Structure 1
Amino acid sequence: MGSSVSPDGSHGAAVTAENFGFKGPRGWTFRSVSIKAEPGSLIAIEGPSGSGRTCLLLALTGRMRATEGHAEIGGLPLPRKMAAVRRISALGPVTSVSELDPALTVAEHLRERALLQRHFDGSLRALLRPRAERAAATRGRIDEALEAAGLDLAALPKAERTAVRDLERLEALRLSVALALIGRPRLLAVDDADLKLSDTDRADAWKLLRSIAESGTTVLAVCSQAPEGTTAVRTVAATPTPAGPAAPKSEAAPDATPGAAPAHTTEATPGAASTDTDQDTTEEGTADALAETGRA
């Protein structure tokens, strides 16, 4: 993860996609996704569980290779520049991919992430600095990330010695976001941003993500329902095709009529949730796709 600035002078990464999709052995996980979002946008991927939301998030951050179409993140083409996209993006909470360890304390998580960041992202000049100077720089980066995530360590039950298992859901979300921001990414990705939150906490979570976007970092968040004012991308779980010889042929069949308009689309609309569209995805296809990342 880097903190480089894009050619237009902004920190965040622009996100564009056209006909973007992933198909596994048991069907489409997501397909025909179109997005156009400026740097510093708050992009909400909404839809029911099993509709390919998390897989789309992982594909757009270079963690999963798409099988259809193309996308660009900060000018870096996908899937050709997946490694480069991973360097400028960071994952907040993503189940079974970047989950917090409930047995570790907040301080232990922060120290571990700072050490990893210094090891993988530090320049030779930085590594040669005096120990005290390196420690001060690390502490400054951690404090900056905590402030951006709105996590007040003093307000926790045991301050920074609080175990993750003792955090409230919103506090855990703030910690995950802070850990991701230590790397100063241009794109922050958050899965299940509104899961198991009260109405008040849900509003606070979106306020947090909006503030990060307003500071210049592009935010990509999976949710059940996108709030107003976001660039919304909607994924829709497919209805199973009836069995039997009389069942109609799926519109997603590979031999669809050449030149016809795409039957399944997911369109990003700035400022409002996009309209419902029939996207031929299955929970089995999603499971196959997640297995590709080592999640299943």
Structure 2
Amino acid sequence: MDGPRGAHISAEGLGLKGPRGWAFRGMDLQAEPGSLIAVEGPSGSGRTCLLLALSGRMRTTEGSAEVDGLPLPRKLAAVRAISALGHVPGVNELDPALTVAEHLRERALMQRRFDGSLTELTRSLLRSRADRRAGARRRIEEALKVAGLDPAVLPKGDRTAVRDLERLEALRLSVALALIGRPQLLAVDDTDLKLSAADRRAAWALLRSVAADGTTVLAVSSQAPPDATTVRTGVSAATAPHSDDPVADRAESGDQDDDSAGTHEGTASEKNERDAQRGTSDALAETGRA
């Protein structure tokens, strides 16, 4: 990437209340541009709602926050314009039927249409088709390099379907897609979910390298690495009073993915996850997800 500029993030007493109660409350954060920020907490504690709020996708209820000097929730659209979502289950998921190449082409096309000022867009349209394609290829190649994803080593190269990717490969693809837009803030959910110890280290190394390249990274995890700026969400909805934290249940939007349902069938944990999925849908509808 060619010198991306990260966003400074600050928050004081930030809280979000949905139809089932508080997703999170009393969150404080100060992070410099290019920081690696881990949102740490148990499933059901409001981590994903906090991630979405700080990236301009959910409207907070109380407290104050700024992203690159833009106040939230007043400047939601402006914050969305400088931020990008990686993997966020239920909000920004990869299509399992599409190939890696199809995802990349689609994102590059969308970026060319909707990114930048009107002047920049006009200038882009005046370039030849060959120049536009070359520009899109450069962006894709830069993003893939930073994300550490080499399509050539995939089973079918860039024609590999998302359903055939390993979890770490899918994470790298989602990060690459987000980086095509050269955001100041990258937000990623479920960073360490269902990864082996080695893959977990690789995932954090990936996000660390993105931050080192200049982009501020905000990542949800169950356990933050020691070198990250860490903000911790509250107790799990499984142990908190129902009236105090339940939107947080699926404020956790993706704390478990589809595979986990079969692994923990019938357990209390799985029930919490199903409740959580409903909670985030409610919260998104209530708080104004973009």
TM-score range, shorter chain: 0.7 to 0.9
Amino acid at match of 1:26: R
Tell me how far 1:191 sits from its aligned partner.
0.2
1:209 corresponds to 2:203: no
- Is 1:37–2:31 an aligned residue pair? yes
**Pairing of 1:72-221 with structure 2 (within 5 A):** 72-121=66-115, 123-221=121-219
Residues in 2 aligned to 1:136 and 1:104: alpha-carbon distance in whole angstroms = 22
Quick one: distance in 2 between partners of 1:137 and 1:55? 35
1:152 and 1:47 map into 2 onto residues whose CA distance is: 32
User: By how many angstroms is 1:240 displaced?
Assistant: 3.8
CA distance in 2, matches of 1:25, 1:16: 26
* Matched AA of 1:212: V
- Cα distance, 1:286–1:114 mapped onto 2, change above 3 Å: closer
Q: Distance in 2 between matches of 1:241 and 1:223?
A: 23
Distance in 1 (CA, whole Å) between partners of 2:280 and 2:175 is: 25
| Paired AA for residue 89 in structure 2 | T
Question: Deviation at 1:81?
Answer: 0.5
Which residue type is aligned with residue 234 of structure 1? Answer: R
In structure 1, the gaps of 5 or more residues are 243-249, 253-281
Offset at residue 117 of structure 1 (A): 0.4
> Residue 61 of structure 1 corresponds to which residue in structure 2?
55
- The Cα shift of 1:52 comes to 0.5
Counterpart of 2:96 in structure 1: which amino acid? P
TM-score (norm 1): 0.81
**Alignment partner, residue 265 of structure 2:** none
Write the letter of the residue equivalent to 2:223: Q
How much is the aligned-residue C-alpha RMSD, in angstroms? 2.3
Amino acid at match of 2:14: F
Tell me the number of residue pairs that the alignment of Structure 1 and Structure 2 aligns: 253
CA–CA distance in structure 2, aligned partners of residues 293 and 197 of structure 1: 31
Q: 1:128 to 1:16 in 2, by over 3 A?
A: same
Could you tell me how far 1:49 is from its partner in structure 2?
1.0
3-state SS, counterpart of residue 158 of structure 1: strand
Aligned to 1:25: 19
SS in 2 for 1:159: strand
Q: Which amino acid aligns with 2:13?
A: N
Deviations 1:21-75 (A, max 9, x none): 1011221000110000000000000111111100000000000000001100011
Residue equivalent to 1:16: 10
Percent sequence identity over aligned pairs? 71
Gap regions ≥5 residues in structure 2: 246-274
The structure with more radius of gyration: 1
